[in-house]
Amino acid sequence: MPPVFTFFVMMLFWTALSGKFDLFHLGMGVISSGLVAWLSHDLLFEGHTKKLGATFKEIACFLRYLLWLFGQIVLANFHIAGLSLSLYPKKKLDPHIIKFKTSLKTDFARFVLANSITLTPGTVSVRIEEDIFYVHALTRRSAGDLAGDGPGEMERWVAWVFEGGSR
């Protein structure tokens, strides 16, 4: 990614946050985004070597994935709210640890998977060691298909977004 791209992202962010469009504020924005882009352009998109078209396709797939994830979050939130408001939560809880091996290759895909697992209520990713995930699940139901053999539904989605797998 060229530094120019970082500059435009920074500039967009600056304008959105400041909300002032006079010369002084925009000039300050140009100076500071230029400085940041010059100093740390290799941080924001480090290691991202895909072509621009592929990047946009990835973003589109990611948005589609976010939609699905949000549906899951809503469903699972109802589950957890019902659990904590039930009369005897201890009778319904059955905490356990799931250990599974992921087939995802890149660090970023694993990061997205771990964060998605934590976002859906009832499961928290505790630790990732190389390709082994440790996930703490609150009930057997919230564990869903993570506990099964092979990649679960969420993992297939993440693989579809970032590594061109089938959904």
Residues in the site for other proteins, rule: CB under 8 A?
16-17, 19, 70, 73-74, 77, 80-81, 83-85, 89-90, 93-97, 99, 114-116, 118-119, 121-122, 124-127, 129, 132, 134, 136, 138
| Between 28 and 97, CB nearer to other proteins | 97
| Between 138 and 154, CB nearer to other proteins | 138
Instruction: Report whether 121 contacts 80 (CB < 8 A).
Output: yes
Distance of closest approach, residue 114 Cβ to other proteins, in angstroms: 7
Distance of closest approach, residue 68 Cβ to other proteins, in angstroms: 14
